[in-house]
Structure 1
Amino acid sequence: MRKQNQKERGQGLLEYALILVAVALGALIILNLFGVSTGELYRTAVNAIGLSPSGGSPSEEAALPGDPPTPSEEEGPLFEDDFSEGLGGWTFLASKFWKGTVTEQDGKMMVGPMGAAFATGFSGTDYTINLSGAELQKKASNNEGFNVIFRSDGATTTFDGYTFSIDKPKNKDAGTLSFYKWENGVQMEQPISSAAVPPGFNWDHPGEIQVRVEGSNFTAAINGQAVLTGSDSTYPQGGVGLSSNFGSYLLVDGVSIQSAP
């Protein structure tokens, strides 16, 4: 008789468990039909009783299982140089065409006429280049300007890739902003895109220059103002560098490269 009672009691508990499962499944189906997120209900419930899903006290809001981790701090730059330790982080081009010098002067990097330098070892796909404190010192009455090189192949005598160029071919010209593509070490005759320099542009102190590269799209900004966009998909990745035109010396306080958001 005792065994029979135990058997009946076990069957009763199993039936109750099956009923509870059926009720729970039915409730979930009804909630989903009405567009209620069960995950949000879970989050609200654990916050309401002052617990985190792991059983501790929540610091801000309870996280759901599978939620991405919250970064503890902002991601640092991919490359950064203020030239306080010289130019050891840079590689210089040397050829019959690129024959200008690159030196450190008073805590700045100075790229001489027809000089070019690349951030050693850096190569990436999507990133933002920041130049701080850019200055131009005139050498000749024409062909002033400089180039921010990106997605370059990193060669030591020439390069393929793209440039954001600020050019003033003649002294009387207002100046032009352009995105160019380079193939086999030669700048293509037609720019990817171009525009006049913004009103009030200071050729002696261009200031803060930013070039953002994301997918096939490029955006350039001067002192926080977007000035030019372009698009090309020839080169999907590559390095970063600077070069100066024949008529100018380029000086910069610092260079940083960050991941494109």
Structure 2
Amino acid sequence: MEHDFTIAKKWNELNFYQIGEIAKLYMSDRKLEKEEFQFLLLTILFVDIAVGSDGYEEKAASFNVLINEVHLMKIDENDQDYLFQYIEFLEKSMDLTKFPPAVELDGKVYFGPADRLSNITIEELTFADHLYFDWMTKKRQIDLDRLVTVLYRPESRVENLEDRREVFSRQTLVDRGSILPTMDENLKYAIGFAFKGSREALFSKFRIVFPSIKSKFKGNERKPIKYKSFNPMITSMAMGESSPLGNLHDVKKTNAVDFFEVVQETIIIERKRKEQLKS
């Protein structure tokens, strides 16, 4: 019997249901054997819709038949990853960079950031990044709720081709604080991991600014690390000799990519200046 499965081969090919389920699995405190963990990933990959959805029973039944057939083939122990090869991309890296474009709650639409966080300001990133760090290290649901509340906002009344969301403001967070956390749990986890992948993709562009960025994706036990805020960097850009990005208010509203480009170039210039003074 042949089974026709169309499965994702990259993180960005997964649907948001799958991303949420995988994120919850990785963030869970449950102690699972490696093969059990891999089988759960495999199930999410092949059965890509939630229980009760149209087509779920058919997909689940076909997947079970496939697993049973593989079992009946009595694969040699050395070839046990016959099926696990399909989940290699989920275990080796985390390059998810797409966000759910919008969510509707209580009859109101909230828009998310652009993929890869390409339209986020340094002020918003600074605020969101600390919440993300707390979520990753403490695994508290409230930190994920707060992160989602920062990233998803109503449409701006002023047309902005780069960002259709209203301008980020700490004062308006309270207005959404009781609404955004009611979002579907899977979607919240998908947003959290989209932030993770986009954040790592962003930082990887600026190796001088972030020289030792290493993925903490697998969640291995490690010593507690202290969070380093971008605020000193922001202040430095506003108070420098040339202030290339303007005053403190202007700096905070600068696109994060543009901000780090200037920071990196500033570091390069300063290093060259020190080398010249030595010679």
In terms of fraction of residues, the more helix-rich structure is: 2
**TM-score, normalised relative to structure 2:** 0.19
After TM superposition, the score normalised by the length of structure 1 is: 0.20
**Which protein has the bigger strand share?**
1
